[in-house]
Amino acid sequence: MLITIPNVLTREEVTEFRKMLDAADWDDGKTTAGAQSASVKNNRQLPPTGDVAQALGQRILQALTANPLFLSAALPSKILPPMFNRYESGETFGMHVDNAIRVNPLTQERLRTDLSMTVFLSDPDDYDGGVLVVEDHYGTQEVKLPAGDMVLYPSTSLHEVTPVTKGARVSSFFWLQSMVRDNAQRTILFDLDQTIQTLAGRAGADDPEVVRLTGIYHNLIRLWSET
């Protein structure tokens, strides 16, 4: 299940983020890559424990905890601190799969990566190339979103960022461990939750069918969740 979530950040927030990020000192992106991905990774990243990364990452997390679509799709249990990367002048990240386990650089806690996320901080017209290509059961999907929007997809997916040939692609990327490990189960829960919300908008939250479906939704979470 690949889902785009619009307007995680406002245009004003994106402008503020970019001012801070464009003035920051960037490191080689290979410093946080696994053994396989390091061989195909060519970009720059902010140090994840630096002041800028921590301050901006916290603001992204605050925005997501107030976003109903994100909460419905992800059912988050634990979220790694957002990181930030930059691609320019032929920089790219070839086809790879994310590490199954990652360590929180601030707490050293280990998390299972169920879902991968990218918040775009450059508009599509600001750069050429730099397309996020995700391979899943429905084929290859290409993602290049407006600044402030986010894409959420299973961390089991093979994916790449094509070479940037003009301009700069700046984004935040991070991972989460969901309360529901299985992607198929998360998809069922998401579809059910979205249907309940649509029906509640038409018939009211106290409609008997809406109440019954809400009960089924929560009972499935009890059955499938790990927390």
Q: Mean pLDDT over residues 59-85, rounded?
A: 97
Please report the pLDDT score of residue 36 as a whole number.
Answer: 63
Listed ranges 32-36, 59-63, 105-109; the one with the highest mean pLDDT: 59-63
Q: How confident is the model at residue 30 (pLDDT cuts 50, 70, 90)?
A: confident
Q: Are residues 95 and 112 in the same domain?
A: yes
**Is residue 218's pLDDT more than 80?**
yes
Q: How confident is the model at residue 35 (pLDDT cuts 50, 70, 90)?
A: low
- CA separation for the pair 143, 37 (Å, rounded): 20
* Residue 137 annotated as part of some ligand binding site: no
* Residue 218 annotated as part of some ligand binding site: no
Q: Are residues 93 and 190 in the same domain?
A: no
Its sign, for the CA torsion 139, 123, 90, 45, is negative
Higher pLDDT, 28 or 146: 146
pLDDT in tens, 147-192: 999 999 999 999 999 999 999 999 999 999 999 999 999 999 999 9
Residue 118 CB contacts under 8 Å (≥ 6 apart), including other chains: 132, 143, 150, 151, 171, 172, 173
Q: Are residues 121 and 198 in the same domain?
A: no
Q: Are residues 120 and 205 in the same domain?
A: no
Residue 9 CB contacts under 8 Å (≥ 6 apart), including other chains: 17, 60, 63, 119, 121, 147, 148
Please give the mean pLDDT across all residues of the chain: 94
Q: Are residues 84 and 189 in the same domain?
A: no
Q: Are residues 27 and 94 in the same domain?
A: yes
**Is residue 145's pLDDT more than 80?**
yes
pLDDT in tens, 112-127: 999 999 999 999 999 9
- Tell me the two tokens of residue 74: 């992800």
Residues 127, 166 contacting (CB under 8 angstroms): yes
Q: Are residues 117 and 219 in the same domain?
A: no
Residues 168, 192 contacting (CB under 8 angstroms): no
Total structural domains within the chain: 2
Please report the pLDDT score of residue 41 as a whole number.
Answer: 85
Q: Are residues 187 and 163 in the same domain?
A: no
Q: How many residues does the chain have?
A: 227
pLDDT in tens, 188-208: 999 999 999 999 999 999 999
CATH number for 214: 4.10.860
User: Which has the closest alpha carbon to 117: 93, 95, 149?
Assistant: 149
Q: Are residues 44 and 111 in the same domain?
A: yes
Q: Are residues 126 and 203 in the same domain?
A: no
CATH number for 32: 2.60.120.620
Q: Are residues 174 and 216 in the same domain?
A: no
Write out the residue range of the structural domain in which residue 133 sits: 3-178
* Residue 159 annotated as part of some ligand binding site: yes
Q: Are residues 59 and 121 in the same domain?
A: yes
Identify each DSSP E strand in the chain by its residue range.
3-5, 27-28, 41-42, 44-45, 76-79, 83-88, 92-96, 101-103, 110-112, 115-120, 127-129, 132-136, 139-143, 150-154, 158-161, 164-178
